[in-house]
């Protein structure tokens, strides 16, 4: 969002780069405060390296819980885009 209209990557000491880093940091910290983790295994209780957990994820429809994570991220991104 902070690089809209740019034709190249920002310089290291660039205001838009700093804004982008701050935005991502805020999203990340807010997500952890709200949900307690950012790791899929921590959020779902499923180890996707194990077939039984992948099967349980589908069978118990645990994936439906992930919708709230997507919703949160999208809402925060939309809030940020409105303030730019």
Domain boundaries, the chain: 38-84
* pLDDT number for residue 3: 63
- Size of the chain, expressed as the number of residues it contains: 84
**DSSP character at residue 9:** P
Band (pLDDT 50/70/90 cuts) for residue 70 is: very high
Stated pTM of the model? 0.76
Mean pLDDT of 1-14: 68
> pLDDT at residue 81 above 80?
no
């Amino acid at each position: 969002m902070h690089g809209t209209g740019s034709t190249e990557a920002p310089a290291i000491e660039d205001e838009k780069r700093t804004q982008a880093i701050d935005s991502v940091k805020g999203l990340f910290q807010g997500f952890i405060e709200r949900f307690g983790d950012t790791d899929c295994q921590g959020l779902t209780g499923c180890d996707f390296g194990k077939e039984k957990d992948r099967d349980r994820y589908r069978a118990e429809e645990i994936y439906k819980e992930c919708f709230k994570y997507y919703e949160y991220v999208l809402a925060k991104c939309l809030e940020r885009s409105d303030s730019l």
